[in-house]
Amino acid sequence: MGALPDYIGVTAFGVKMGVILEGDDIVEETYKSVAQCHADGLISDGDILCIKESVVARAQNNYVSKEEIAKDVREKLGLIESSNLGILYPIVSRNRFVPILEGLVKAVPKGKITIQFSYPRDCVGNQIAPENLHQTRGIDLNSEKIVYTDPNSCNFNHPSTGVNYLELYAKIAKAEGVTSEIYLSNDPYQLINHKVDGIIVSCIHDADEMLQKIKEKFENSITLKDICNNPRNLAWSEWGVLGSNMHSDKELKLAPREASKVAQKLQLKVKEQLGKTVEVIIFGDGAYMDPSTKIYELADPVCSFGCTKGLVKLRTGIKYKYFVGKLSSQGKTKKEIESIIEQEKQKTHELDDISMEGTTPRKLHDVVGSLADLLTGSADAGTPLVVVKSLLK
């Protein structure tokens, strides 16, 4: 296979790299695959190299045990074994939050956890309860709550996974001998009324804002980002346990640490060894919503854990179909229309210019990361490296 012909527009393809293990040099391993692509004429100036965050974290050996999570939580919230730990607005997920919860429960082995879910969905769109449950109960969830005591009190299975997450989370606490109190309410201050000793704000994208709100009335609160984020430890991430995943029965894989440095090292190596100027991104979940389930797929805290500077900008552009419609109505020929559009592409337009109408400016690294994630897929297509071509031209 040689270089793609010039009539091909934006293109993205996955690259098989083989198994990446703990201790591997992820920059070197990725470079080997890029060099192979280059030898086949598939790497050009302006290409974007996208690396799946999971292989970066694995190479970094970025794993923590559930006991380490428990210890960190106890220290940061000043808890004892018999404390009541409040968990505010967690997502419902077996591979994302369940391992975290198993660590949190271990922080109070002789105590209690109090979990407050949002209603009727979590912060990424997973449905937790029937949409009209509050109406049948006559409850205002902006000031009241629906209490979960047994499966029959809110007997609802997630439409995609078939799991009753309220029941599952209660079982996790019970398995450790910990008392649990679980309920649904959209009033975040409800949790303070349950005599908790500390609160972990567990939502993903609005955690900082929610933490600030909670601290106005309850100071002893942190977010998931504050857990396992100490760079003095062997395993840590600036994202804490946000973006973590189940690794084994005893450990979690954290998000990669200092991902932008990894991206910059690969960019430099490709320039020095292959003479090509490329951009690099370490990507996680794509930033899009599944229209059938209404689940926002971005369960990671960000779409890009780190990238090179050329991707830190907005993706903008003229509205192609606007110009085609406008110019064709003026009687322009195909050749004239194509020429004018190429000229317009070279101009600088303000975001509110009519030429940009209908084109929503988006952060370029979010667009690139989402594209790469769609190619690799949640099930992982075995292609942790994705090459995106012609997007920057």
State percent of the chain over pLDDT 70.
88
CA distance 281 to 267: 10
Q: φ and ψ at 232, to 5 degrees?
A: -80, -15
The pLDDT score that the predictor gives to residue 377 is 72
CA distance 271 to 252: 35
Q: Which of 341, 103, 77 is nearest to 196 (CA)?
A: 77
The pLDDT score that the predictor gives to residue 244 is 96
The lowest-confidence range among 49-53, 66-70, 212-216, 317-321 is 317-321
CA distance 37 to 44: 10
Which tens digit of pLDDT belongs to each residue from 364-383?
999 999 999 999 876 467 89
Which tens digit of pLDDT belongs to each residue from 251-265?
999 999 999 999 999
Instruction: Report the 10 Å Cβ neighbour count for 17.
Output: 20
Please compute, for residue 330, the number of CA atoms within 13 A of its CA located in the half-sphere on the CB side: 11
Kindly tell me if the per-residue pLDDT of 153 is higher than 90.
no
State percent of the chain over pLDDT 90.
68
The pLDDT score that the predictor gives to residue 148 is 80
Return the beta strands (E) in the chain as ranges. Answer: 11-15, 48-52, 63-65, 84-88, 112-117, 146-148, 179-184, 198-201, 221-223, 245-246, 251-253, 279-283, 289-290, 295-296, 304-307, 314-315, 362-363, 385-389
* Cβ–Cβ < 8 Å for 84, 113: yes
Q: Which of 178, 41, 163 is nearest to 91 (CA)?
A: 163
CA distance 237 to 260: 13
Kindly tell me if the per-residue pLDDT of 133 is higher than 90.
no
Kindly tell me if the per-residue pLDDT of 326 is higher than 80.
no
Q: Who has greater pLDDT, 356 or 200?
A: 200
> Across residues 144-160, what is the average pLDDT?
76
> Across residues 332-353, what is the average pLDDT?
63
Q: How does the average pLDDT of the chain come out, rounded?
A: 89
Binned at pLDDT 50, 70 and 90, residue 122 comes out as very high
Q: Which two tokens stand for residue 275?
A: 């003479």
Which tens digit of pLDDT belongs to each residue from 237-296?
999 999 999 998 899 999 999 999 999 999 999 999 999 999 999 999 998 888 888 888
Binned at pLDDT 50, 70 and 90, residue 142 comes out as confident
Kindly tell me if the per-residue pLDDT of 358 is higher than 80.
no
> Across residues 316-336, what is the average pLDDT?
68
Q: Which two tokens stand for residue 314?
A: 């907005």
The pLDDT score that the predictor gives to residue 331 is 73
Kindly tell me if the per-residue pLDDT of 351 is higher than 50.
no
The pLDDT score that the predictor gives to residue 62 is 97
The pLDDT score that the predictor gives to residue 344 is 64
Kindly tell me if the per-residue pLDDT of 323 is higher than 70.
no
CA distance 370 to 288: 7
Kindly tell me if the per-residue pLDDT of 189 is higher than 80.
yes
The pLDDT score that the predictor gives to residue 300 is 94
Kindly tell me if the per-residue pLDDT of 124 is higher than 60.
yes
CA distance 47 to 203: 35
Binned at pLDDT 50, 70 and 90, residue 317 comes out as low
Kindly tell me if the per-residue pLDDT of 172 is higher than 90.
yes
Kindly tell me if the per-residue pLDDT of 131 is higher than 90.
no
The pLDDT score that the predictor gives to residue 145 is 85
Binned at pLDDT 50, 70 and 90, residue 178 comes out as very high
Which tens digit of pLDDT belongs to each residue from 7-46?
888 999 999 998 999 999 999 999 999 999 999 999 999 9
